[in-house]
Amino acid sequence: MEIFHWKDHQGREVDFVLRENRVVKQLIQVTLASSLEGIEKREIASLVRASEDLKTEELLVITWDFGGEETVSGKRIRFLPLRKWLLVE
């Protein structure tokens, strides 16, 4: 497994790109937000854009305390509190 950072020419960024055998497996954003409303729209927009560019559907946002799932622009995004991510992933 290789770990990268993604940034496009418009300055959109994704914190972690996980790649295995030249295939992008997962995109991960990390935020201190404790609610969906607290997550910056630019973070979600960057995740969606990167998923289109890198052709992956596994999108994750690690939060301080918010868990759930949302669909944005036809993409399913999982939100997982840090403590659960540390125990599960």
Whether the per-residue pLDDT at 76 is higher than 70: the answer is yes
The pLDDT tens digits of the residues spanning 10-69 come to 999 999 999 999 999 999 999 988 888 888 888 999 999 999 999 999 999 999 999 999
Query: How far apart, in whole angstroms, are the C-alpha atoms of residue 62 and residue 31?
Result: 6
Task: Supply the pTM of this predicted model.
Answer: 0.91
Tell me the average pLDDT across 3-7. 95
The pLDDT tens digits of the residues spanning 77-87 come to 999 999 999 99
What is the distance, to the nearest Å, from the Cα of residue 34 to the centroid of all Cα atoms in its chain? 16
CB 22 within 8 A of CB 4: no
All structural domains of the chain with their residue ranges: 2-88
